[in-house]
Structure 1
Amino acid sequence: MQWLSNFEGELELAFTKAENILAKLPVTFNRPALAYLDKFHVLKDGRSKNYICYLLPYWLGEHVEVHMTDSQNFAVANIFGMMYYHLIDEMMDEPNAKSTQQLPLANLIHLEFIQIYNGYFPAESPFWYYFKKYITEWAEAVTHEQHQDYFQEKSNAIAHKAAPVKLSIVSSILLTGEEDKDLITQLEDAVDTVLVTLQMVDDWQDWKKDLQEGSYNCLISMVQSQLHIPKDRRPTHAEIEQALYSTDLLLRYAERAESNHETLEAIKPIVPYLYQFHGYLCDNVKQAARQIEAERQLLQQGGLAYWLSKNI
């Protein structure tokens, strides 16, 4: 996992810098801001691991020869952006319970997010065109998620829920002094592909929780399509487990992730760590598929064989 290990020191510095900035917020907000940041510290155990959010500026900086200090600043901006959009997502899920406490905090964090980019890119910079583009992608994706089957109909919209991550692309490229539109488009597509597979991994791990909460989920979408369940109802827990253990559904889910990996071959020489990270995601899905397939075959052999595999 060189895509992570080669940058652990830089990540530590980025989170320390983010802590120092948030510590200077007004007293009412600095403590909750630091507590929220701690939930996402990638180098601490038991925290959310938004690897691509923090690491993409470093991965890109190697190709476009951005100074490490600048990559670190863009990583800090990504940390603040990630915190802001997580807070917004939580408020959208539970507007009455959390808005009063979280909305002021979210806006203060968003201000720090914007200020980092303001320090690099003046108002006339093309950066702000892309900024508007990615924020619009995010807004469209989160607004229509419950009304469209993105996984079956418009998979890129899944990635657009994290579209602001792509600010790392344009900030790194524009810092070289040239707007290479072809490279930006190529990397935008690549990052979208990685974000789709990342969501697939999360959705495999969280399908029970998402089913209970009514959240959109790629795996549930695939079950719904395979079982021809009408769109006005979701699969039941039993239907999903039946699809997992009586069909090759998860193998085909893994094949879709592998197909995504094949489309990334072109960016392997440009951003090798992004390609390696996607391979890591694919391995996660394939490992889960192999495990389910092994259990499925044991179940086909009979209850005794399955019991022996679990208890001996």
Structure 2
Amino acid sequence: MNLDEGWREELEIAFAAAEDELRTLPAEFGELALRLLGRSNPLINGGRANRISYLLPYWVGENVRAPIELCRELAIGNLFAMLHFFVLDDAIDGDAGWSSADRRRLLPLGQLLHGLFYRKYLGRFPASSPAWDRLSEYMKQWAAAMAREADSAADPRDFRALAGKAAPIKLCAAALLLEAGRPDRLSAMDEAVDLTLATLQLSDDYADWREDLAEPDGNAFLTLVRELLGEPDGRVPDEKAVNRALYHRGALGKLAELAEDHGARLSSIPECPPSLLAFQRSMAEELRRAADGIDEEVNRLLRGDRLSGLLANLSGG
């Protein structure tokens, strides 16, 4: 299932509208923002962004029969919020490859993007709307997740904590439910989105494990690796250790199991939009295919009696 293709026309409209608004920013910030938006456009280059950021309003809107115009406005607002958090993450990391001149613009640009996001949502939901109470809660979840990342290793089994860094995404789902007169569904929708965001984090952590070896505590897959190898939390694994966990301890298969467990729980939530479930399943299936590929490679090596040599090499022997 091509999750972008089904919404191609809407994504073209939303990204074009976001571009138009970014062009109204002061030139030194607008150019930087447009570069970031271009990297995030899945219809151009696959996109840097998590698709859930801008597709969730359409997925939830489809479920509650919201007007497409409302879904579009929230998707555009989410694009600005997404870029805001990209900029904030890069400013916090300090090593994202920005030039010194661009780095000085990051935080001011983040504030401008945050203002554009608020303007989009306030145009649809006045300050008195309970949606803003939900945003306050989601921002607390985000802040707690950021603090945890600095203090302790990511827990691959705690889906709420894994989802925390992307918690503000949930605002669009809450807003649409409130607009539809269904506040009773907020808790279930929060859980559905959290399970999906946690699966996304597991998938991203596996994809990024080499880049995260220098600071492994923020990577849930590397936490799982250390568990499987019996390594203490303070010890940083190297690439050989991770490969040993992959080929000898079935690390990726265990990660795929966690994603599949999230999917089973997600499918039991009646409020879960079908497109959200499809997105989660696509990630879980991708992890399972990768794990099966490693198992097939191990079996091939066993048939050729070369596995012991590989494991000895991974062990440094």
Q: TM-score, normalised by structure 1?
A: 0.91
Which residue number corresponds to residue 32 of structure 1? 32
Supply the distance in 2 between the matched residues of 1:146 and 1:121 (Cα, whole angstroms): 34
Q: Count residues with an aligned counterpart.
A: 305
How far does the alpha carbon of each residue in 1:219-257 deviate from its partner, in whole angstroms, 9 at most, with x for none? 111011112211112222111111111122221211111
Which residue does the alignment assign to 1:248?
250
Pick from 303, 306, 309 the counterpart of residue 306 of structure 2. 303
Distance, in Å, in 2 between the alignment partners of 1:108 and 1:259 is 39
Code of the residue aligned with 2:203 in structure 1: it is: V
Flag structure 1 segments of 5+ consecutive residues without an equivalent: 308-312
Q: Look up the SS of the partner of 1:207 in the other structure.
A: coil
Q: 1:57 to 1:181 in 2, by over 3 A?
A: same
Aligned residue runs from structure 1 range 101-112, under 5 A: 101-112=105-116
Determine the structure 1 residue equivalent to 2:132: 128
Distance of 2:242 and 2:270 partners within structure 1: 36
Higher mean C-alpha displacement, 95-104 vs 230-239: 95-104
Could you say which residue in structure 2 is the equivalent of 1:260? 262
Question: Any residues of structure 2 matched to 1:155-174 within 5 Å, and which?
Answer: 155-174=159-178
Aligned residue number for residue 315 of structure 2: none
> What is aligned with 2:119?
115
Q: Map 1:75-94 to 2 at 5 A.
A: 75-94=75-94
| 1:206–1:218 Cα change, 3 Å | same
Measure the CA separation in 1 of the matches of 2:2 and 2:57: 15
Report the identity percentage.
Answer: 34
C-alpha displacement at 1:154, in angstroms?
3.3
Displacement of 1:215: 5.9
Q: After alignment, is 55-64 or 215-224 more displaced? A: 215-224
SS of aligned partner of 2:235: coil
Q: Tell me by how many angstroms 1:201 deviates.
A: 1.0
1:217 to 1:281, Cα distance in 2 relative to 1, 3 A: same
TM superposition shift of 1:70: 0.7
CA drift of 1:303 comes to 2.9
Question: What amino acid maps onto 2:256 in structure 1?
Answer: A
Q: TM-score normalized by structure 2?
A: 0.90
User: Equivalents in 1 of 2:215, 2:153: separation in Å?
Assistant: 17
* 8 Å contact from structure 2 (residues 263, 281) kept in 1: yes
Aligned pair partner of 2:148 in 144, 150, 171: 144
1:310 aligned partner: none
CA contact (8 A) 1:58 1:68 kept: yes
- Post-superposition offset of 1:99: 4.8
Moved over 4 A (4+): 95-99
Contact persistence 1:268–1:275 (CA under 8 A): no
Match of 1:154 among 158, 161, 182: 158
- 1:270 is displaced (CA, Å) by 4.5
Aligned equivalents of 1:52, 1:113: Cα separation in 2: 16
Aligned equivalent of 2:290: 288
Report the CA distance shift for 1:256/1:106 in structure 2 as closer, same or farther (over 3 A).
same
Aligned equivalent of 1:278: 280
| Partner Cα distance (1:249, 1:268) in 2 | 32
* Contact kept in structure 1, 2:153 and 2:219, CA below 8 Å: no
Q: Does the 8 A contact of 1:257 with 1:282 survive in 2?
A: yes
Residue by residue over 1:118-164, the C-alpha shift from the partner in whole angstroms, topping out at 9 and shown as x without a partner, is: 11222221111001011111111012113223324633111010001
How far off its partner does 1:283 sit?
Answer: 1.0
* 2:212 partner letter: D
Separation (CA, whole Å) in 1 of partners of 2:271 and 2:114: 34
Shift of 1:67: 0.6
CA distance in 2, matches of 1:191, 1:269: 11
Output one character per residue of 1:258-280: Cα deviation in whole Å (capped at 9) or x when no partner: 11110011346751111111110
Query: Alpha carbons of 1:275 and 1:37: their partners in 2 closer, same or farther (altered >3 Å)?
Result: same
Q: Is the 8 A contact 1:3 1:274 kept in 2?
A: no
Provide the C-alpha distance between the structure 1 equivalents of 2:53 and 2:161, rounded to a whole number of angstroms.
18
